[in-house]
Amino acid sequence: MVKPAQMTKVSVTGSKNQLQKVIDTLYELELLDIEDYEGGELEKGEPFEDAEDISELLVDVRSILSKLPDSEVVEEKSVSLGDIQENLGEIKSEVDRLEDRRDEIEKERSRLEDQEEFFSRLRGTDLTYEDLQGTDSLEVFIGRMDVDRFKKETGSSHEILQGEDSEIVFYRREDAGEVEKVLREVSDEQYSLVDTDFTGTIEEILQAIEYRREELEEEIDAIEEGFKNLAKKWGGKLENAESFLAEKVEKSEAPIRFATTKRTFIAEGWVPTDSLDQLRKRLNEENGDKIHIETEEGENPPVKQENNQVVEPFESLTDLVDVPRYNEVDPSFLILLTFPLFFGMMIGDAGYGISSAIVFFAGMKMFPKASELFKALLWTSAATLLFGLLYGEMFGFRIYESPFYRAYYWTEILYLTVLIGLAHVNLALLIGAYNEYVRHGLLAAVYEKISWILLQAALVAGYLTGVLYGSTAGWGVLLGLGVPSLMMLYKGEGIAGIVEIPALISNILSYLRLFGVCMAAYTLAGTANAIASPAYASGTLMGIVAGTLILMVGHTILTFIKIMEGFIQGIRLHYVEMFGWFFEGGGRKYAPFGADR
């Protein structure tokens, strides 16, 4: 649970006659994380003959599936490759027909919107579309302008009509030069006459546009129903076909990752050490002891995080930073131990514990791919509930006379958060010392990590000695313990270690944010209740309803604010203040062949 599973590098060698059977077995076992052969003395393998055809078929199936809606009702999920190949062309043609028609309708809808916007500006006139086109002797201006100024500068020989949001000017073609010059000066905007197949008056055209829009809506509904029917009839089969084809493609292209000669193949990769015997047994059973399996030395093994069901959801929080290295402690269990406690201590309200749990349950249902993250966050809801009961608070109200009511202990909480920071950072240093011990030995662990702990011990010992026995004794203890600690630190990390001493202090003091958010959470909940209080105090039905609405809206908003604050500040203390002292990351996730099914 603390460290990733031990991995062993193996090579699988056999005759090309056995290649297909070996690939099938490896795919079924889901144990071998294949290392691609990058070229060298041997040749890279080639895909099986049907790989290209199957890959193209898979692309077509996925393309169709991406266009079909999800269907809860599936008539049949059985699949055969022949059935899919036989019907895929017909399905694709129908999908393309529906999609092309939907695109045409969307374009027509857009044109109708432009036409409606234009003709709506002309409401209030008795003009027809033909009038707006002008004649051999008349020009037409449609736009917005200063009418009084236009009349003043051109006289009253031009007909001006007022629409709902524009003016229409009819003027003689022979006066066009003079009139258009004035229009350029007095107009704010000019609207071009839109193309349309509708005729009649402005109102008749607008009615025709609305009627056509309703027709298109009905046609869109029919197209969507067509997609649903296709999904109902073929969705299940296509999904099954996608899984089947994806497996075939992965198997058919697997030889590309192997080294080959004319007669043999060599596949290299990593397998969990405790599964090595299983790999040997199955390959030999399936191939009659014709496969040769050897263990090898290798670098950069993949990381298989080996956590129980409780810790496993917290891997998602670790992976937000990076995958642990193969030879370092997996910090997922540390996040489980302290992140929910930090969150609960800060928010500390039974009501928000319940409301945040509802949010996280909803997140699991709405975002299945992030379900592990929401499972981890449910632990923060539980901690928030427990701390809320400890504090005696629910949605900012005091629910019983708790001896641990936090409003009585702000000073103590302030000091407690500093002690939490001290413990959390030094725990990180101890884990860092273990990582260094595994990689580089005991001296490296002492010089690079333990020296930081000894330096802090020197400061504490010097301070306490000074308080008890005077400053001279205190300085003596401080220098006596501190100088060797600094020398070890310099030996382990060089000048960079000395320069980072203020960062250690800064990291520890950063845990004061636990106090800050704790106080803010308490204050915000009380503020929401205080806003609602006058409404309740009125004693009227309207006041009670208004107060209830204020509380519901206020605490709903505060639920999301507190989730955000609790998550950001709590996880930041792990990612920044803690992980920096021991976690390097940069590992590669264990991805065994066949596990993507």
**pLDDT, average across residues 555-569:** 94
pLDDT higher than threshold 90 for residue 565: yes
516-542 confidence digits (pLDDT tens): 999 999 999 999 999 988 888 888 888
Among the listed residues 372, 415, 432, the one whose alpha carbon sits nearest the alpha carbon of residue 579? 432
**pLDDT, average across residues 64-92:** 73
Whether the Cβ atoms of residue 573 and residue 529 lie closer than 8 Å to each other: no
pLDDT at position 154: 84
pLDDT at position 101: 93
178-191 confidence digits (pLDDT tens): 888 999 899 989 99
Band the pLDDT of 77: cuts 50, 70, 90. Answer: low
What's the rounded Cα separation, in Å, for the pair 41 and 296? 18
Among the listed residues 190, 118, 120, the one whose alpha carbon sits nearest the alpha carbon of residue 150? 190
pLDDT at position 306: 84
**pLDDT, average across residues 104-115:** 94
Average pLDDT over all residues of the chain: 89
pLDDT at position 111: 93
**pLDDT, average across residues 201-224:** 93
122-152 confidence digits (pLDDT tens): 998 889 999 898 888 889 999 999 988 898 8
The proportion of the chain whose per-residue pLDDT surpasses 90, expressed as a percent, equals: 49
Band the pLDDT of 1: cuts 50, 70, 90. Answer: low
pLDDT higher than threshold 50 for residue 75: no
DSSP notation for 89-123: HHHHHHHHHHHHHHHHHHHHHHHHHHHHHHHHTTT
pLDDT higher than threshold 80 for residue 81: no
Band the pLDDT of 494: cuts 50, 70, 90. Answer: confident
Structure tokens that stand for 125 in this block: 């006139």
CB atoms within 10 A of CB 95: 20
**pLDDT, average across residues 418-426:** 94
Among the listed residues 253, 282, 227, 251, the one whose alpha carbon sits nearest the alpha carbon of residue 99? 227
Which one has a higher pLDDT value, 361 or 536?
Answer: 361
305-345 confidence digits (pLDDT tens): 888 889 999 999 998 899 998 888 899 999 999 999 999 99
